[in-house]
Structure 1
Amino acid sequence: MKFSFAILDPIDFLALQSIKKSLEDMPGSNYFSSWDFTSDPCNFAGVFCSGEKVIALNLGDPRAGAPGLAGRLDPAIGKLTELAELTIVPGRVMGKLPATLSELKNLRFLGISRNFISGEIPATLGELTGLRTLDLSYNQLTGNLSPVIGSLPALTNVVLCHNHLSGSLPVFSSQTLTRLDVKHNNLSGSISPGSLPSSLQYLSLSWNQFTGPVDYLLPQLNQLNYLDLSLNRFTGPIPSCIFTFPITNLQLERNLFSGPVQPFNEVAIPTVDLSHNMLYGQVSPLFSTVQNLYLNNNRFTGSVPNTLVDRLMDGNVQLLYLQHNYLTGVEINPTAEIPVSSSLCLQYNCMVPPVQTPCPIEAGTQKTRPTTQCMQWKG
């Protein structure tokens, strides 16, 4: 039987040599020990070939907790023209992303997370029309997100969280985009309806400076199973339809949302956090089916729904935070014992709490809101 072995394309061979020269193993890592250029580079750790070309490059030991690489990513990476996948494990790779990445026309997956990549995301990445996953999270990236990034037609995952990106969020045109995570940046501006595709299932915009309403945007995103808009400056009402989404954890806390909150039906979301907003009106009894409910630091008035209290006493509601509102009543027997598995905080409302329960430290020590404030607030 006759075997034939392909010889790696000389251009790819030289590119791998340049890449190795610009990177090194961090202490404890021996990733590059197999990169002996007197042997076949297609047998190197993290190098995958098809015929004479490198089609995937996974730089660094992929095992969790393994030391990563240090250095910079050499522009010669752009010479690997058949590369479909490029990843770098967490480490101390720094410097800017090479502009030559735009020459990787076959790139489908770009994952360089938890390193020290700085500078702007090159607008030339907009030329990678087949790119599906863009993960540059936990780096030192700055500057605006170019609109051409949003125009990439095949994107399914965009993970840019924990950087220093600024400016507005581009319009994302890909109808296959399912995950968008830009939390912990300096992004700002409003998000217009139609700027995010209805295919989204995971959306995290938290810890930014976004403004404006979301009542026309969110109803279009009814495939969401994860939503975190916390720690922004969003305004206006919370659309009722959002409580019907297949979400397990709804995080809208620490914004400027206002108005009453009126779900259509019993809320099947296990955790709902609407705290630290400007919401008002009655607390809806349809929240009685929520296991962890944060409504504290708003402007809710009236009595706490009996169904909510009953489910708390039955142990079905595990956490009920209602402190720092303008609530005027709650039907709990002063001798009743709150289940050990449940947490209730009622302090700083327009009533004397009928039971004394431990509250978070940030709730303060004052049990009841001053009468003058209760008289002034009309709900």
Structure 2
Amino acid sequence: MAKLHYPLCLLFLLLSFSPSVQQQTFLYPSDLLSLHDLRTSLQGLPGSKFFSSWDFSNGDPCTTFTGVVCSRDDENPSSQVLRVSVLTLGTGLTDSPGLTGTLPESICNLTYLSVLVLYPGQVTGSIPSSLGSCLRRLRLLSLTNNLLTGPVPDSLAGLPDLHTLDLSNNRLSGPIPPSLFLPSSPNLKVLILSNNGGLTGEIPEGFSTSQILHLDLTHNSIYGELPMLPATLRYLSVAQNNMCGTLETAFSGTTIPDLEFLDLSMNAISGQIPSHVFSLPSLTSIFLDRNNFTGTITVPASKTPISWTVIDLSHNGISGQIPAGLASAGALYLNSNRFIGSVPDRVVQSIYSGQMATFYAQHNFLTEFPTQPDPLPDSVALCLSYNCMVLPLAGANCPMNGGPLQSRPQEQCISIASTGGD
């Protein structure tokens, strides 16, 4: 039999894919040292098995360490040196045992990181102040659900590719760095600083001209008037703060076509609610409860009615008639205001059809709820107690904290009628 003769170049090609000849990749030494420091600084809480795979004496961190992802240097793809590009410290499950300890300054040596997540845990101390000056590739930084203290580092504003910054549910304090909303942070779209309690100061002016999509400052000590909202905004929550003033400036700019969620509840915002709020085409959830709003509500007529998921205007001082245009809300909370007159027929029809599953209007000065012969759907929650009318049987489905199931004293109703609800 004749022998097969492989071309020399083919032979070399075959050998290049042989495991015994192919060059092995290895982790950049500085990255390896940083992982060592992290393992020393962080420990698992009782029941946590997160670090069980972090065995530096046996195994490749890039392939065996939980939470570690490595990549080749995109500027030198032929290099055999790997860099840590994603670091997820913790399971990401709220009810799982997390980590404790502190974040070491040496984490700054992981200069190839694009994603850094630490969640959940009881990690203490401050966020390394140099984080933003050394981890220049970061796109996602999430240190949520820990016990971190101190300020939000100014250096984070200098991260050119940072898209999402989530420092929520910690114990951070001090002002929001104004530079987070300046051109030095051109790609920052999601900023979540909620449930820290100690963040204070006003919302920086640069917010109005930023390209931010999602801002959550819930449960802090932010004060001042809400600045003009940027046109790109989709989600805004400044609930449970010390905001004051009116909403005139906030909605004085161009339209906000993509805003879907607005929560300004539990503040001290006053004045009349701008009618523009009820004409935003994408807005489905509105929480303006527990403020100091007064005056009447105007819902602009629209060729395409907006189907709100929920509107909560409760616990304010809003007066006048209930606008019929609110009939398309799935849940409508108007309780503890100064509304007068009859509940609009369109609202009543929406309740009886089941389209509006919740209608709370207790503690107002309403005089009539036009009942219908059809029974109220079992799924509907309706409360009309403490108004200026005899309660219809259907209006007795009130929450436990809805107060006594009775009408207002007549003298209160006479007084409000004489002033027109103002």
What TM-score comes out, normalization by structure 1 length?
Answer: 0.92
Return the offset for 1:30: 2.3
- Asked if the contact 2:258/2:283 (under 8 Å) is kept, the reply is no
State the match for 1:9 in structure 2.
28
Structure whose alpha-carbon radius of gyration is higher:
2
Instruction: Report % sequence identity.
Output: 39
- Asked if the contact 1:153/1:174 (under 8 Å) is kept, the reply is no
Of 116, 127, 130 in structure 2, the residue corresponding to residue 100 of structure 1 is 130
**2:296 counterpart of 1:260:** yes
**2:131 counterpart of 1:131:** no
**2:379 counterpart of 1:345:** no
- Asked if the contact 1:69/1:93 (under 8 Å) is kept, the reply is yes
State the match for 1:213 in structure 2.
246
- Asked if the contact 2:208/2:227 (under 8 Å) is kept, the reply is no
Deviations 1:304-355 (A, max 9, x none): 112222332333332221111122223226x874332222222222222243
1:105-254 equivalence runs, <5 A: 105-151=136-182, 152-164=185-197, 165-170=199-204, 171-172=206-207, 175-193=210-228, 196-218=229-251, 220-245=255-280, 246-254=282-290
Return the offset for 1:110: 0.4
- Asked if the contact 2:324/2:347 (under 8 Å) is kept, the reply is yes
The verdict on how the C-alpha distance between 1:233 and 1:197 changes in structure 2, with shifts beyond 3 A counting, is: same
Return the offset for 1:275: 0.8
3-state secondary structure, aligned to 1:50: strand
- Asked if the contact 1:155/1:174 (under 8 Å) is kept, the reply is no
User: What amino acid does structure 2 have at the position aligned with 1:142?
Assistant: S
Unaligned 5+ runs, structure 2: 1-15, 73-80
Of 298, 314, 330 in structure 1, the residue corresponding to residue 353 of structure 2 is 314
User: What amino acid does structure 2 have at the position aligned with 1:160?
Assistant: L
Paired residues in the alignment total 376
User: What amino acid does structure 2 have at the position aligned with 1:167?
Assistant: G
Between stretches 350-359 and 201-210, larger displacement belongs to 350-359
Partners of 1:133 and 1:287 lie apart in 2 by 35
Return the offset for 1:136: 0.8
Return the offset for 1:29: 2.2
Partners of 2:54 and 2:349 lie apart in 1 by 66
Return the offset for 1:72: 0.7
Partners of 1:174 and 1:308 lie apart in 2 by 38
The verdict on how the C-alpha distance between 1:154 and 1:347 changes in structure 2, with shifts beyond 3 A counting, is: same
Give the root-mean-square deviation of aligned CA atoms: 2.1
Partners of 2:71 and 2:355 lie apart in 1 by 56
**2:83 counterpart of 1:49:** no
Partners of 1:364 and 1:93 lie apart in 2 by 43
What TM-score comes out, normalization by structure 2 length?
Answer: 0.83
Partners of 1:177 and 1:322 lie apart in 2 by 36
- Asked if the contact 1:248/1:270 (under 8 Å) is kept, the reply is yes
Partners of 2:53 and 2:120 lie apart in 1 by 20
Unaligned 5+ runs, structure 1: none
Partners of 1:173 and 1:48 lie apart in 2 by 37
3-state secondary structure, aligned to 2:318: strand
Partners of 2:62 and 2:92 lie apart in 1 by 17
